[in-house]
Amino acid sequence: MTEPTSVEKLTTWAAGSENPVVQFVRTTLGPLLLILITPPAAIIFWIVCTFEPFNGSLAPLLTSAGWSSVAAHWPWPSTSAAGIVLIFAVFEALLLQWLPGKNYEGPITPTGNRPRYKLNGIAAWFITHVLFLGCTFGLHLFKAGIVWDHFGEILATLVLFAMLFCLFLYFKGRYWPTSEDRSLSGNFIWDYYWGVELHPTLLGINLKQLTNCRFSMMGWSVIVCSFAAKQVELDPGGHLSNSMLVCVALMVLYLFRFFWWESGYFTSLDIMHDRFGYYICWGVVAWVPAVYTLTAQYLVLRPSDLAWPLAAAIFVLGAGAIYMNYAADAQRQRVRATDGASSVWGRPPELIRASYVTADGRQHENLLLTSGWWGLARHFHYVPEITLALAWSLPAGFNHFLPYFYVVYLTILLVDRASRDDRRCHKKYGAAWEEYCRRVPWKIIPGVY
Ligand code: NDP
């Protein structure tokens, strides 16, 4: 076996410290704790949303009654859940492969490769949702609340399957890699957690696109639609609360926008930089269904109607945040696609031409936009991302913390991500990035941080 040419060794948050204790915490202890804590947490959140004595509150976890309930309701993987997951995964893989769509070449990797993607996400989104609704309300093959009915088993199945799949990815990256875009540190915990390959493929399918986009984001959309349907099924009058309506409408709108902008996602850190291991793969397969859906999960059994003007105001806040986040993402993409020949907020863009070298020794150039959204702060687009998460949590009211867990988690994730991205871009562009930081000194919130 030949060891991979490690173009990018322990980058990301493991980088930047020579202190061996900090290195150990960041590359071994921290990842190990996350691998041990996040799977049970994903399940416990569901139990807290669903069973007594929790009633949506985390506080009973401090009591023995709480832990007895956790033990009594602990879900296990089941064949029916595995069937649902497998059918969904295969169906999405077939849509990805067979639906027509433009081929899209992603950004150049550190070894000089260009991964390829198929842009047919919007068509896949429509077919998936129409089929789901058709099978439920049209053909009556199953009830629309089916995902809620099996959610415990589905989560248990996803948690276990994703852990095993990450192990497979580790060995695949080690012994049967798709390309030279991989690295092994020799520390199994780090390599399992962070992943080995950057763009693994299997049977010709780009695994990151299939898993992150078509399985996870598409699944999130279907899951919350099913949760809304379950609330209707449970209500004797078949009523859908406007709190659930606003929450789910914002999530679905956000996910629809995601597929609208799928090519932009291929220029995000998840794809360009993060290797495909536990952090990303387990995250999208198990953590997204468990945690990103939390507010909708919480609302299924707690229907409450807001005053309509308040519901409308929350929706407008969320929709505005979706637009702002999209506008920022699209602005940077547009400026690069036109080599700066497009206007930014009605003016010619202010730019830095930043050069970088790939592992094959070739020099390339990228544009760094320093005006528009990207002139406010270097990651201003995280502000609307967090505002949106807050907007779809607000309909749950203020009785419990759980519906806001995602907002807190996302804020921590994005603050860490902004620093990671700065480190990575500094390493990639050197003086050009320093010039960007001089022109745009704020990381996320202008004047604050
Ligand atoms: P970004 O959109 O922040 O992209 C970062 C990359 O863009 C950099 O690595 C650099 O890449 C390039 N770049 C940085 N500054 C500039 C500039 N001034 N002009 C042009 N290009 C620049 O990536 P993220 O992955 O963080 O975010 C993508 C989207 O996903 C965002 O909308 C974000 O809000 C969302 N998101 C959502 C999360 C969730 O869990 N809900 C988590 C993370 C992100 P290059 O090497 O090409 O120069």
Q: What are the tens digits of pLDDT across the range 129-148?
A: 999 999 999 999 999 999 99
381 lines ligand 1 (CB under 6 A): yes
- Domain containing residue 245: 1-12+77-304
Atom of ligand 1 nearest to the CA of 428: 46
> What does the alpha-carbon distance between residue 221 and residue 393 come to, in Å, rounded to a whole number?
16
Same domain, 264 and 367: no
The model's pTM: 0.91
Within a domain: residue 225?
Answer: yes
pLDDT at 267 over 60: yes
Same domain, 95 and 152: yes
Atom of ligand 1 nearest to the CA of 421: 9
The Cβ-side half-sphere exposure at 146, using a 13 Å CA radius, reads 16
What's the pLDDT tens digit per position in 191-212? 999 999 999 999 989 999 999 9
Residue 109 has a pLDDT of: 86
| Number of domains composing the chain | 2
Same domain, 325 and 299: no
Task: Report the separation in Å between the CA atom of 268 and the middle of ligand 1, taken as the mean of its atom positions.
Answer: 5
Within a domain: residue 195?
Answer: yes
Which of 278, 304, 330 is the last residue in one of the domains? 304
Residue ranges of the alpha helices (H) in 307-370?
308-337
Atom of ligand 1 nearest to the CA of 335: 20
412 lines ligand 1 (CB under 6 A): no
366 lines ligand 1 (CB under 6 A): yes
The gap from C-alpha 223 to its chain's centroid, in whole angstroms, comes to 15
Which of 256, 276, 304 is the last residue in one of the domains? 304
| Cα distances (angstroms) measured from residue 248 to each of 44, 126, 222, 255, 346 | 22, 17, 10, 10, 34
pLDDT at 243 over 70: yes
For ligand 1, atom 22, which residue shows the shortest CA distance? 368
Same domain, 221 and 231: yes
332 lines ligand 1 (CB under 6 A): yes
pLDDT at 14 over 70: no
Q: Tokens 């495909």 appear where?
A: 276
> What does the alpha-carbon distance between residue 365 and residue 432 come to, in Å, rounded to a whole number?
11
Same domain, 287 and 378: no
Task: Report the separation in Å between the CA atom of 269 and the middle of ligand 1, taken as the mean of its atom positions.
Answer: 6
Per-chain mean pLDDT for the chain? 92
Same domain, 115 and 128: yes
Same domain, 323 and 265: no
Within a domain: residue 45?
Answer: no
Same domain, 279 and 422: no
The span from the first CA to the last CA of the chain, in angstroms, equals 47
Same domain, 179 and 195: yes
Within a domain: residue 53?
Answer: no
Task: Report the separation in Å between the CA atom of 119 and the middle of ligand 1, taken as the mean of its atom positions.
Answer: 19
382 lines ligand 1 (CB under 6 A): yes
Residue 362's Cβ-count burial label (10 Å; 0-12, 13-18, 19+) is exposed
Same domain, 290 and 324: no
Within a domain: residue 41?
Answer: no
Task: Report the separation in Å between the CA atom of 244 and the middle of ligand 1, taken as the mean of its atom positions.
Answer: 30
For ligand 1, atom 21, which residue shows the shortest CA distance? 368
Atom of ligand 1 nearest to the CA of 436: 18
For ligand 1, atom 44, which residue shows the shortest CA distance? 414
Task: Report the separation in Å between the CA atom of 332 and the middle of ligand 1, taken as the mean of its atom positions.
Answer: 9
Task: Report the separation in Å between the CA atom of 258 and the middle of ligand 1, taken as the mean of its atom positions.
Answer: 14
Higher pLDDT, 369 or 360: 369
Within a domain: residue 360?
Answer: yes
334 lines ligand 1 (CB under 6 A): no
Res. 17 pLDDT band, cuts 50 70 90? low
421 lines ligand 1 (CB under 6 A): yes
379 lines ligand 1 (CB under 6 A): yes
Same domain, 286 and 363: no
